[in-house]
C-alpha cells in the first residue's frame, strides 16, 4: 500500500448527471426518456446526490479522503439561453462550502458530458457559436464561485467524441462483416471509457430520427458524446481555451485545465504505426491547445493493444470488468509517464477505477494503480492527486445502473448508502 503526503489529493469523483438526479433541462435527460432510447433505463433520481451531498461529503471525510471532484451542471445553471439560475449557483456554492467545512479540496468540472438542451438545438458541439457560449457560462461560474475554488476542469474527457467516432466506425465495419454479432459489439464497447451501448444505438437509429427531430430540431443532434468531426474536435479545444481565458480574467489564481480519456496504448508486433496514430489521436494532437494549461487531468482505466490491423481483443483468459475492460491497473503509471514526456504542467489523476461486484478486486485495482502513481512521484513527475471513479454506484450513461464503479453502494429504493471496504482503503493512502 503506497502512502501519500498530506498535501496530495486522495479523493473520489462524480459527475452531476450521473449522481444528482432530475437533470430536467439537459440533453441526456431528453434522450434517455425517448420512446426508442438507446439507454438501458432513465437516470430518474439517480443517487439523489443533489439532496444528499452533505451526507456523501461527510462520508468521504470520515473515511480519510481530502478532496472531491464533482461537476457543476450547465443545464441547471443556464436552463434557458442567457438566463442564469441564482438558486442553482447557490446550490453549488453550498457544495463547495460543505467540502471546505469537512476538509476536502473541491475540484470542479464545468462540463461532464451533459449540455443544456437549448445548446443542442443551436447545433451543439459542431456549432461555431458553442465555444463563446461555453466561455460565457464559465465566466459566470468564475464570477460567482471563483473566490472559493482553486482548481477548475473546463471539459471532461475532451477527446471522447473522437474516440466514439473511431469506435463507431469500427463497429459499423464489424456489423457489415459479421451481421452484428452481440459479442463483437461488446468487444467494441470495451474500447471506450464510458458506458455506451453501440448495438442498441445502431438498432434504434432509424426509430430515433423522428424523436430527435421533435426534441432537438434535427435528426442527428450533436451532443458532446456524439461521433465528432475534425472541425468539432477543434471547436471543443476552442471552447476550452476561451473558457480558460474567461476564468483567468475573473480569478487569475485559479488553476485551469481539462481532462483526457487515455488508454495505455501498447504496440504489438506489426502494430507500431497504428499505435503511434492512436496515441496522436488520443493525446498528442491536443498539445498545442493545452500546453500552457496549469494542469492536465489524466483519466485511465485499462490498456489498448494495437496490432497490424488495429485494436486487438483481450488476450485469452484475461480478467475483465463489468464494462468489458481488461483488468489492467498498471496502465495508469504507463500513461502518466508517457504524458509527462510532452506535457510539463501539473498532472492530476482525475479518474481511475473499476466496475466490479467484487470489492476485493476494486481494492487490488486501487492498490496497483496507486503504487504506480507513487513511483511516478518518486521519479519527480509533478502529480498533485488521485481521484477514484466513482464515489457512488451511479448512472453509467447508456448502461444504466448495472455498472458498479462505486466506493459506496446505493440502495436506489431508499437511497441508503453503504460504504464499501474500498472507500476506507482509499482513505488510508495518506500520511
How sure is the predictor about 19, in pLDDT bands with cuts at 50, 70 and 90?
very high
The pLDDT tens digits for 324-337 are 999 999 999 999 99
How sure is the predictor about 148, in pLDDT bands with cuts at 50, 70 and 90?
very high
Closest CA to 307 of 279, 277, 271: 271
| Cα(167)–Cα(191) distance, integer angstroms | 7
Mean pLDDT of 205-219: 88
The Cβ of residue 1 has, within 10 Å, a number of other Cβ atoms equal to: 11
The Cβ of residue 5 has, within 10 Å, a number of other Cβ atoms equal to: 8
Q: Which CATH architecture has domain 9-260+348-427?
A: Alpha-Beta Barrel (3.20)
Is it the case that residue 183 has pLDDT exceeding 50? no
| Cα(250)–Cα(252) distance, integer angstroms | 6
pTM: 0.94
| Cα(138)–Cα(154) distance, integer angstroms | 8
**Domains of the chain, residue spans:** 9-260+348-427
Is it the case that residue 306 has pLDDT exceeding 70? yes
* DSSP single-letter state for residue 349: E
- Residue 209: its pLDDT value, please? 86
Q: Cis omega before residue 390 (within 30°)?
A: yes
DSSP string, 363-388: HHHHHHHHHHHHHHHHTT--EEEEEE
Is it the case that residue 42 has pLDDT exceeding 80? yes
* Of 103-107, 162-166, 179-183, 211-215, the least confident: 179-183
Mean pLDDT of 288-305: 98
Number of alpha helices (DSSP H) and beta strands (DSSP E) in the chain:
16, 13
The Cβ of residue 12 has, within 10 Å, a number of other Cβ atoms equal to: 29
The Cβ of residue 277 has, within 10 Å, a number of other Cβ atoms equal to: 14
Mean pLDDT of 361-380: 98
Is it the case that residue 181 has pLDDT exceeding 70? no
- Residue 203: its pLDDT value, please? 61
Is it the case that residue 280 has pLDDT exceeding 60? yes
DSSP string, 280-312: HHHTGGGHHHHTTSSEEEEE---EEEEETTEEP
Is it the case that residue 228 has pLDDT exceeding 70? yes
- Residue 206: its pLDDT value, please? 73
416: β partners? 411
**Are the C-beta atoms of residues 301 and 335 closer than 8 Å to each other?**
no
- Residue 431: its pLDDT value, please? 77
| Cα(206)–Cα(251) distance, integer angstroms | 47
Q: What are phi and psi of 130, to 5 degrees?
A: -65, -45
| Cα(418)–Cα(410) distance, integer angstroms | 6
The pLDDT tens digits for 397-415 are 999 999 999 999 999 999 9
What's the whole-number average pLDDT of the chain?
A: 94
C-alpha cell of residue 416: 441508503
In percent, the amount of the chain with pLDDT more than 90 equals: 88
Mean pLDDT of 371-376: 98
Q: What are phi and psi of 389, to 5 degrees?
A: -105, 120
**Are the C-beta atoms of residues 417 and 54 closer than 8 Å to each other?**
no
How sure is the predictor about 51, in pLDDT bands with cuts at 50, 70 and 90?
very high
The Cβ of residue 308 has, within 10 Å, a number of other Cβ atoms equal to: 13
* E-state strands within 233-372: 255-261, 264-267, 295-299, 303-307, 310-311, 346-351
Q: Is 157 a catalytic residue?
A: yes
* Of 54-68, 210-224, 382-396, the least confident: 210-224
Mean pLDDT of 50-66: 98
Cβ within 8 Å of residue 248, ≥6 positions away:
254, 256
Closest CA to 263 of 332, 214, 185, 195: 332
| Cα(228)–Cα(168) distance, integer angstroms | 11
Which entry of 20, 73, 126, 157 is annotated as an active-site residue?
A: 157
Mean pLDDT of 201-217: 81
Amino acid at each position: 500500500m503506497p502512502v501519500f503526503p498530506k498535501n496530495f489529493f486522495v479523493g473520489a469523483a462524480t459527475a452531476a448527471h450521473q449522481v444528482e438526479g432530475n437533470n430536467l433541462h439537459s440533453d441526456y435527460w431528453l434522450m434517455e426518456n425517448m420512446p426508442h432510447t438507446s439507454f438501458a433505463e432513465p437516470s430518474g433520481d439517480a443517487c439523489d446526490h443533489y439532496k444528499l451531498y452533505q451526507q456523501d461529503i461527510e462520508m468521504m471525510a470520515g473515511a480519510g479522503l481530502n478532496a472531491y471532484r464533482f461537476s457543476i451542471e450547465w443545464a441547471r445553471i443556464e436552463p434557458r439561453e442567457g438566463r442564469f439560475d441564482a438558486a442553482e449557483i447557490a446550490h453549488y456554492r453550498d457544495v463547495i462550502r460543505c467540502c471546505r467545512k469537512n476538509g476536502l479540496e473541491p475540484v470542479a468540472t464545468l462540463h461532464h458530458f451533459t449540455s443544456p438542451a437549448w445548446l443542442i438545438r443551436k447545433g451543439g458541439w459542431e456549432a461555431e457559436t458553442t465555444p463563446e457560449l461555453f466561455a460565457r457560462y464559465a465566466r459566470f461560474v468564475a464570477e460567482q464561485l471563483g473566490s472559493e475554488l482553486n482548481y477548475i476542469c473546463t471539459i471532461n474527457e475532451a477527446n471522447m467524441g473522437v474516440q466514439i467516432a473511431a469506435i463507431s466506425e469500427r463497429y459499423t465495419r464489424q456489423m457489415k462483416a459479421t451481421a452484428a454479432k452481440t459479442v463483437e459489439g461488446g468487444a467494441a464497447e470495451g474500447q471506450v471509457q464510458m458506458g455506451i451501448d453501440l448495438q442498441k444505438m445502431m438498432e434504434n437509429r432509424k426509430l430515433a430520427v423522428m424523436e430527435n427531430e421533435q426534441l432537438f430540431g434535427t435528426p442527428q443532434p450533436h451532443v458532446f458524446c456524439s461521433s465528432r468531426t475534425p472541425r468539432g474536435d477543434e471547436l471543443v479545444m476552442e471552447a476550452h481555451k476561451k473558457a480558460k481565458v474567461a476564468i483567468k480574467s475573473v480569478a487569475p489564481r485559479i488553476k485551469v485545465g481539462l481532462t483526457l480519456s487515455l488508454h495505455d496504448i501498447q504496440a504489438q508486433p506489426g502494430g507500431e504505426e497504428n499505435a503511434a496514430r492512436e496515441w496522436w489521436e488520443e493525446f498528442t494532437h491536443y498539445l498545442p491547445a493545452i500546453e500552457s494549461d496549469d494542469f492536465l487531468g489524466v483519466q485511465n482505466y485499462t490498456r489498448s493493444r494495437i496490432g497490424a490491423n488495429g485494436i486487438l481483443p483481450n488476450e485469452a483468459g484475461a480478467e475483465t470488468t463489468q464494462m468489458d475492460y481488461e483488468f489492467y491497473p498498471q496502465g495508469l503509471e504507463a500513461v502518466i509517464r508517457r504524458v509527462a514526456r510532452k506535457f510539463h504542467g501539473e498532472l492530476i489523476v482525475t479518474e481511475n477505477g473499476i466496475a466490479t461486484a467484487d470489492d476485493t478486486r476494486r481494492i487490488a485495482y486501487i492498490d496497483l494503480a496507486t503504487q504506480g502513481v507513487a513511483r511516478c512521484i518518486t521519479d519527480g513527475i509533478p502529480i498533485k492527486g488521485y481521484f477514484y471513479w466513482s464515489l457512488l454506484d451511479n448512472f453509467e450513461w447508456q448502461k444504466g445502473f448495472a455498472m458498479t464503479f462505486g466506493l459506496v453502494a446505493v440502495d436506489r429504493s431508499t437511497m441508503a448508502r453503504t460504504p464499501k471496504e474500498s472507500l476506507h482503503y482509499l482513505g488510508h493512502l495518506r500520511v
